[in-house]
Structure 1
Amino acid sequence: MNNNNSSKMYEDQEFDKKQGKTKRHHNRKSTLDFRKYTKQIWLAGLGAFSRAEDEGSKIFESLVKVGEELESKTVEFTDQTVSKVTEKTKESVIDTKDKVEKMLDHHVTTSLNKIGLVTAKDIQHLESLILDLHRKVDVLMEENKTLKAQLNKK
């Protein structure tokens, strides 16, 4: 174990003949590189934090704006869908109501006719016949007056 460490130590050291000293280039260089990279990483982290702090509010505001637009579109779409469903429901209810009224009217009319009672439709029909008859009688009376007037002149 000691031999490995000492051989490694010799790899990292270089003997300077002029000064009579052993140089430790490799160890010193790698320590300086490590410090340099560590400092760069630290500075990059500080820069990232600063940029995130500066741009974070811009990004947040941008996300809020996008969220508002999406909410607006969603509300608009929901309102349109609710309106369409409401309209279709109203149409369906009106159609069903009309069908039920016609069915009830038919059954009531049929039942009243079976027992011999007059319905409102029967009275309306009779009323229109009487009005037609009245108009025809009025026409005949005018024609009769005209004929009498012609006969009296002769």
Structure 2
Amino acid sequence: MSKSTIKQQNESDDMTVEPQVKKNKQNQKTALDFRKYTQQIWLAGLGAFSRAEEEGNKFFDSLVKVGEELEAKTLDFADQTVTKVTDKALESVYETKDKVEKILDQSVNTSLNRLGLASSKDIQHLEQLILSLHSKVDTLIEENQALRQQLSQSSQ
């Protein structure tokens, strides 16, 4: 081999060795970077876990408080709704009861009139007439007694 061939071969070997050295250094740097990032990710995970544990309790407590407030509002709303529904139901029951009573009264009065029996209104009217007649009879009795006294005094 000639000197120039050996020189070219040495240069060619240098060129082959030089990129390999660069690749090895680059691979070592990448491996170190990877380890560094892996370590950072691990530490970040530990930090996140620790913070989640600390703040998780606070967050849980705040959720419980919000839940209690919501439950109180819901119970108030439910109580109001139940009260409204109950009031409407009672009102409806009373209205229906009044209607049924009126219908029964009318039916009973109609049946009594068909049978020729007096209704409570008829009896009340008769009572008023009797009281009026009683008052007139009392007045007539008093006038009759007054006239008798006058006659007996004039005959004496």
TM exceeding 0.5: yes
Aligned to 1:34: 34
TM-score (norm 2): 0.70
Aligned to 2:55: 55
- What's the CA shift for 1:25? 2.3
What whole-Å deviation, never above 9, does each CA across 1:109-128 have from its counterpart, x for those lacking one?
A: 01101111112222223234
Residue 108 of structure 1 aligns to which amino acid in structure 2?
Answer: V
TM-score (norm 1): 0.71
Aligned to 1:126: 126
Residue 25 of structure 1 aligns to which amino acid in structure 2?
Answer: K
Equivalent residue of 1:42, what SS? helix
Equivalent positions of 1:41-120 (< 5 A) are 41-120=41-120
- Looking at structure 1, the residues matched to 71 and 136 of structure 2 have their Cα atoms a distance apart, in angstroms, of 71
Which structure would you say has the larger Rg? Answer: 2
Contact 1:112–1:119 at 8 Å: present in 2 too? yes
112 and 83 in structure 1: CA distance in 2 versus 1, 3 angstrom threshold: same
- What's the CA shift for 1:101? 0.7
Equivalent pairs, count: 131
Residue 66 of structure 2 aligns to which amino acid in structure 1?
Answer: V
Contact 1:12–1:26 at 8 Å: present in 2 too? no
RMSD value, Cα: 3.0
Equivalent residue of 2:30, what SS? helix
- What's the CA shift for 1:106? 0.2
Question: Between the two proteins, what is the percent identity of the paired residues?
Answer: 65
- What's the CA shift for 1:13? 1.5
- Looking at structure 2, the residues matched to 10 and 124 of structure 1 have their Cα atoms a distance apart, in angstroms, of 133
- What's the CA shift for 1:56? 0.6
Structure 2 residues without counterparts, runs of 5 or longer = 1-14, 148-156
**Larger mean Cα displacement after TM superposition, 116-125 or 42-51:** 116-125
